[in-house]
């Protein structure tokens, strides 16, 4: 499963995470992929709904401290011994159901809610399980805040690709205010007015990531959570490329992978020094 992510920000997060967080990210990324499989092109809609229904039930079981799937069992095994409940993975099912319906974000509130659900299910879970000795309010705030920014940046970086699959990642009311037709997101060059808003949002989200990472001022939390710090560093690099590519969509080059690897290594070194 991890090898399928090779070269992505998730892969570098896992690679430099350290043994404990690797044991968490391996099943967590696997669960995310299993749930996302309902969105595979060509999959019958009825089959996709059966998959999401089963995973919704499994998320409830995990929350209660039980699981049927090998990946969710592996994730539960990383809980502190005293824990009587499991992590909340329902957000992954919620956002997959949203995308399966090709639902659009009418407002910024709906987009924020989407990012919130993913953040609670992935980075927040990873932070809490990887650093159980740290105050819960610290790991929750860090994981959730980081995750919200990561989620929206991922959507902006893949804006054109998602639009061509019928998933619009800009709220409809914001597009209307700009005078931009929703269908134009699938084609470049994008209108100048849209590009300006995208530039501003990329910059805001990178600042949000930097501020979250700067909150980890002591060596212990930085070491325990360094996989997430690496993820943020690589994602910021992708954001800058997407911004610089405007008015076109960023097209990954062979050199980008080398630069990503170097950025990830440097971020991991900073986290433990």
Tens digit of each residue's pLDDT (9 = 90 or more) over 70-111: 999 999 999 987 778 899 999 999 999 999 998 999 999 999
d(CA 239, CA 247): 14
DSSP state of 107: S
Nearest to 22 by CA among 11, 36, 34: 11
> Do 239 and 157 contact (CB within 8 A), yes or no?
yes
> Looking at the 3D structure of the chain, how many domains does it have?
1
- Mean pLDDT over residues 43-55, rounded? 94
Could you list the residue range(s) of the whole structural domain that residue 126 is in?
2-272
pLDDT tens sequence across 204-229: 999 999 999 999 988 999 999 999 99
Are the beta carbons of 178 and 197 closer than 8 angstroms? Answer: yes
Can you say whether residue 6 is alpha, beta or left, with left for phi > 0 and alpha for psi between -120 and 50 degrees? beta
Kindly report whether the peptide bond that precedes residue 247 is cis, defined as omega within 30 degrees of 0.
yes
Lowest mean pLDDT among 3-12, 80-89, 148-157, 241-250: 80-89
Owner of token pair 């044991």: 23
- Average model confidence (pLDDT) for the chain? 95
Residues 142, 131: Cα–Cα separation, whole Å: 11
Question: What pLDDT shows up at residue 3?
Answer: 85
**Tokens encoding 207:** 């600042």
d(CA 86, CA 59): 9
pLDDT digits (tens, 9 = 90+) for 17-36: 999 999 999 999 999 999 99
Q: Domain containing 257 — which CATH number?
A: 1.10.600.10
What does the pLDDT read at residue 273? 78
Residue 167 has pLDDT above 90, yes or no: yes
Which pLDDT does position 143 carry in this prediction? 97
């Amino acid at each position: 499963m991890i090898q399928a992510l090779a070269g992505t920000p998730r892969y570098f997060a896992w690679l430099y995470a350290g043994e404990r967080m690797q044991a968490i990210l391996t099943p967590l990324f696997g669960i995310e992929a299993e749930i996302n499989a309902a969105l595979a092109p060509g999959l019958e809609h009825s089959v996709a709904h059966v998959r999401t229904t089963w995973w919704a039930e499994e998320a409830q079981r995990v929350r209660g401290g039980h699981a049927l799937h090998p990946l969710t069992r592996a994730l539960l095994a990383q809980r502190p011994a005293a824990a009587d409940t499991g992590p909340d993975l329902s957000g992954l099912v919620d956002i997959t159901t949203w995308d399966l319906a090709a639902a659009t974000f009418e407002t910024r509130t709906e987009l924020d809610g989407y990012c919130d659900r993913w953040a609670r299910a992935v980075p927040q879970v990873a932070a809490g399980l990887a650093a159980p000795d740290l105050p819960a309010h610290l790991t929750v705030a860090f994981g959730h805040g980081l995750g919200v920014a990561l989620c929206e940046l991922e959507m902006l970086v893949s804006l054109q690709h998602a639009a061509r699959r019928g998933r619009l990642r800009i709220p409809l009311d914001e597009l209307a205010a700009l005078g931009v037709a929703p269908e134009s997101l699938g084609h470049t060059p994008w209108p100048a007015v849209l590009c300006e808003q995208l530039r501003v949002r990329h910059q805001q989200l990178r600042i949000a990531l930097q501020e979250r990472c700067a909150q980890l001022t002591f060596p212990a939390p930085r070491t325990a959570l360094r996989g997430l710090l690496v993820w943020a560093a690589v994602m910021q690099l992708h954001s800058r490329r997407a911004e610089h590519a405007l008015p076109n969509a960023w097209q990954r080059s062979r050199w980008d992978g080398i630069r990503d690897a170097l950025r990830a290594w440097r971020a991991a070194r900073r986290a433990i020094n």
